[in-house]
Amino acid sequence: MNNIQIRDVTDADFVHIVTLNQAEVAHTSPMNRADIAKLHDFSAYHRVIIVDDVIAGFLLVMGPKSRYINENYGWFKKHYDDFMYIDRIVLAIHYQGKQLGHALYRDLFLFAQQHGCQHVVCEYNVVPSNIPSAKFHQRLGFVEVGTQWLPVGNVATSHDKTNTAPVLQVENHGGQKKVSMQCCQLVSQ
């Protein structure tokens, strides 16, 4: 890995991004070229990381005024005025564990601060668990600010850690996943 570059995504990158996403679809959601073009139009930040002239991964992020419709994005929109929502980060399997995800996040943090944004938010699965994602985000300073149960494609119940009101808990996990809502508060320089 001699030459590493981060740059904005172009239309010519969409086919490669779809291929990268498909390889990690167990941790993301499926998308085709039309889907990625639409998400790209909604995004505030969409960049690829290139290693020795090969696209090794991408990071797709929505800002607070995006027209994006998604249960997790909607949760953050209800709780924060000022945020950058990480929709997905994908690295090709042979580039994982090489600090490229950290490089993309550092680039995003700088971008967010340059745009006056102090919160970078995301979610990851806790049921079923995604331990590598949990560890990755904890190392970067993300903390849990809530949880949400999701059946396939929809919100089941929510819990806001800042709200003391009772919350309906779903005991049957069949067909549902629980996500941890995460926030990294950026420090003003």
In order, the DSSP letters of 105-148 are HHHHHHHHHHTT--EEEEEEEEETB-HHHHHHHHHTT-EEEEEE
Token pair in block for residue 27: 């941790």
Q: What is the mean pLDDT of residues 37-58?
A: 97
Which pLDDT value is given to residue 128? Answer: 87
Within 13 Å of residue 13, how many CA atoms lie on the same side as its CB? 23
The domain segmentation of the chain, as residue ranges, is: 4-185
| The listed CATH number (3.40.190.10, 3.40.630.30, 3.40.50.720, 3.30.1490.20) that belongs to domain 4-185 | 3.40.630.30
pLDDT tens per residue, range 129-157:
889 899 999 999 999 999 999 985 433 33
Q: What is the pTM of this model?
A: 0.86
| Other beta carbons less than 10 A from residue 76's beta carbon | 23
pLDDT tens per residue, range 51-85:
999 999 999 999 999 999 999 999 999 999 999 99
Contact 169, 157 (CB under 8 A): yes
